Structure formats: structure tokens, C-alpha cells
Amino acid sequence: MTDALRWGVLATGGIAHAFANDLVLNGFTVQAVGSRSQPSADAFAAQFGIPNAHASYEALVADPDVDIIYVSTPHPFHAENAALALNGGKHVVIEKPIALNAREAREIVDLGAAKNLLVLEAMWTRFLPHMVRLREILATGALGDVHTLIADHTQDLPDDPAHRINALELGGGALLDLGIYPLSFASALFGRPETILAAASFKDTGADAQVATVFRYPGGQIASTVSASDTQGPNRATILGTEGRIEIDAVWYSPTTFRHYDAAGDVVETFTAEVTGRGMHFQAAEAEQLVAAGKTSSDILSGEESVAIMETLDEIRRQIGLRYPGE
């Protein structure tokens, strides 16, 4: 296997289009796509110039020209589809959240380890240039003791009960689609919370419309997040430390600008980066580097951390009374 992996895309929804577009724009090899129907696979392949189009996920996984698979189905199918790929000998990058719950996440991570194959949750924000630079600043201690994260992910999404965001049977709701972003960011900064407080409001379908959380960590840090699918908010994030702060502009989880302020409130650095496309290819680059190095987990977002994040999501759901069909 060469360092340049041959990608397969499992499913052909909106996020699969965004991912494939970024890979093609940035020179990655997208070799195959798998759908539940041949016309859908053919249309997707034609749009992105993909050589192999398969009418089933099983056929995609069996394709000998594919090294790694991007799993982009709705949340309740991540575990099943990831297991299919891993059992077929393929590395996987799994659309976030990695699974519907922590039990499924653990099964995926353990299967990847047993097969000696890469499992990477597609939390693409972690790998964007502004997040790389942010980690560098934090590593220098320039903010002093980092005490606080404040972040929101709030969008005014369709109210149609049949829309995926409102369908409990598809894992719909603000928490798994939107809340995963600030919750993963909090995990990256502070680790696993020791105290979790959550509150929510719901749509008529039973899907969560708004979720607010407050986390406290063993070192005394606090993270405050709000996620909503029924209202548009600022979509900014702020990190507070004893010697300064970082303010990330909208949309903070996408390629954007941030400012680093010192304790006096003066700007130390303004960071921005030119990104071709949406920026989802940075996670693909991380996956290819890991496979080339013979690694099955990322130091930036390990499988174990993905499981821990799902455990936090499970506790939030317990507190707000949210269960998905079949659980």
C-alpha cells in the first residue's frame, strides 16, 4: 500500500458530497463510492469523477481497489457500516459522532484494534489550520491557566417532521448533529468532565431542539455550551485563561479567523488561513499519515477519546430524557 490511499465513500448524502468534493479539490484519490442503488452511485461517481460505482455497501467494501472507507450514513448506522468495512479489511473514517452511543463506539474502536486497522472519527474541526495553531499557542502556556470554554453551535434548520434533523429514528436532534462540535472541543481542551449538567427543549417529534450544558473538570475548569437546531446564533467560541484569551470567529468549527489577546486585552496574534474547499480534506490527510506510519489511532483524536465523548453524550441524554428507537 502506498502513502496515497484510495478512498471509498460509503453512502451518497450531503456530507458525502462535501467530503468527496474537498478530497477531489485537494488532490486525494477517491476510487469508489457505494450506495443502496446503482443510479445513486452512478450519479455520485459521475459528479466527482470516481472510477468505481457500487450498488451496495458490501460491494464497496469488497472492492480490492479501496484502502480506506469514509462512513457517511446517518448516526444509527455508523456502527454497522464501520464494522462491515473493518471486517472487510478497510481502514475507516466515520462521520461524527462515531456512533449512536458509547456501547457502539466501544465496539467499533475495539474491532479496529483487533483488526489492526485505523478508526478515526470524522470530527474535521480538530484538523483545521486554525485549530492546529490554537493548540500550538496553548502548548506554549501563553494563556496561563486555561479556565473556561464558551461555545455555541446554533442553526435554524428545517422544521419538517420528516427531515433527518427531526427524526429520532435517524438519531436526529441538536445534540448529535450540532452539540457534538462544542462537546468535542471541550474534550480536546479539558478531557473528561467530572460533573455534567444538561437541560433541553424538544420538538413535537421528540427530537431535541436545544441543549445547554455546563461541565466541570477535575482541575476546576468550566465549559459552557449551547446547541440548537431551531435558531441561528453567533457560532463563536472563546477560551479564557489567566494570562489572556482566544476568540474564534464565526463559524468557529469551520475554517475561520481567531484573535489571541494578552491579559491586558491587547491583540497578540490574528490568525487566518486560506483553505481550498470546506476543509474536510485535512482529516483525510491525518488518516493517510497515520496509516503510512502504521498507526491505528490519532493523537489528535484517539478512538478512546471518541468513546469518552460518547459516554458524555449518553449522560447528557440520560439527564434530558432522550432515547432513540431500538435502544
Question: Does residue 141 surpass a pLDDT of 60?
Answer: yes
User: Averaged over 202-226, what is the pLDDT?
Assistant: 97
Class for the domain spanning 6-125+280-294: alpha beta
pLDDT at 300 over 50: yes
What is the mean predicted confidence (pLDDT) over 180-197?
98
Mean pLDDT of the chain: 97
Q: Where are the beta strands (DSSP E) in the chain?
A: 6-10, 29-34, 52-54, 68-71, 91-95, 119-122, 146-154, 195-202, 208-216, 222-228, 237-241, 244-248, 258-262, 267-271
Question: Percent of the chain at pLDDT above 90?
Answer: 98
CA atoms within 13 A on the CB side of 80: 7
pLDDT digits (tens, 9 = 90+) for 48-90: 999 999 999 999 999 999 999 999 999 999 999 999 999 999 9
Q: What pLDDT sits at residue 101?
A: 98
The per-residue DSSP string of 85-147 comes to: HHHTT-EEEEESSSSSSHHHHHHHHHHHHHHT--EEEE-GGGGSHHHHHHHHHHHHTTT-SEE
The predicted model gives 145-163 an average pLDDT of 96
Residue labelled with grid coordinates 455555541:
152
What is d(CA 266, CA 1) in angstroms, rounded to the nearest whole number? 50
- pLDDT tens digits along 2-21: 468 999 999 999 999 999 99
What mean pLDDT comes out for the span 142-164? 96
Average pLDDT over residues 33-38: 97
Using alpha carbons, list the distances in angstroms from residue 98 to 2, 49, 167, 219, 293: 26, 28, 18, 27, 23
Specify the CATH superfamily of domain 129-274+309-320.
Answer: Dihydrodipicolinate Reductase; domain 2 (3.30.360.10)
Please state the domain extents for the chain: 6-125+280-294, 129-274+309-320
Measured distance CA(269)–CA(258) in Å, rounded: 8
For position 4, what pLDDT does the model report? 87
Q: What is the rounded average pLDDT of the residues 134-139? A: 98
Reading the block at residue 319, the C-alpha cell is: 439527564
232-264 pLDDT, tens digit per residue, is 999 999 999 999 999 999 999 999 999 999 999
Give the type of residue at 309: I
> Does the pLDDT of residue 324 top 90, yes or no?
yes
pTM: 0.96
Beta-carbon count within 10 A of 211 CB: 30
pLDDT for 271 beyond 70: yes
Task: Flag whether pLDDT at 326 surpasses 90.
Answer: no
pLDDT score, position 229: 97
pLDDT of residue 1: 36
* Contact indicator for 115, 86 with CB cutoff of 8 Å: yes
